[in-house]
Amino acid sequence: MATKVMNLRMTQTKQSLIHAFFNLVSKKDFEKITIADITKGAQVNRATFYAHFNDKYDLMDYILGDSASASIENHTAGVVSFNQDSITQLVLAVCDFYHQPNIQCRSSYVGLVLPQMKEKILKELKVFLSKSLEQICTDNEKNMFVPVFAQVIHEGALQWATGNITTNKEEVAKKVALFVMSGSQSFEGTLR
């Protein structure tokens, strides 16, 4: 029971630190945010911050990684498969990941946050695709196809998220999924 209470308290403290960070990113440039600012907003001491994160970069890295995995989980409902519907859901997850209100911040963050966002969502896409292709192809084939499919899914969604495509995200997701599936069927024996 004591462990359960301790885990709950740690989770609440971590959420408090994250919430304090989100409050700050809308008001201050990242470089100007200090650990003292974050701990003051979370109403905890420095030692508590360092019990959860190494520094503010680690905090941001955690937030982006958590948001990427949550976005994919929300869209796939934990069902891991390689079919047109799951690919459509992955594209929608990436679209939503880039448009989450809690990740929206001052324009000065774009150069800092965008590369990290891309890294985190690509990592999560690769994890999902790798699992979904386990029963369909060999490890060698997975090593070849997973990064390619992840890049196609990411780039299709990013084109929508950045406004380069004016079509609605559902239509973009369907077209990207069709493209990925038709590409995978070109290797008939490889992925089936």
Q: Tell me the CATH number at 19.
A: 1.10.10.60
Both 49 and 129 in one domain: the answer is no
Position 100 scores a pLDDT of 74
Expressed as residue numbers, the domain containing 35 is 1-53
Position 161 scores a pLDDT of 87
List the structure tokens of 181: 């599936």
* Tally of domains within the chain: 2
Position 187 scores a pLDDT of 61
Both 73 and 5 in one domain: the answer is no
Position 173 scores a pLDDT of 96
- Indicate the range of 46-50, 55-59, 112-116 predicted with least confidence: 112-116
- Cα 143 to chain centroid distance, Å, stands at 21
Is this model's pTM higher than 0.85 or not? Answer: no
Both 175 and 84 in one domain: the answer is yes
Looking up residue 100, the CATH number of its domain turns out to be: 1.10.357
Position 186 scores a pLDDT of 63
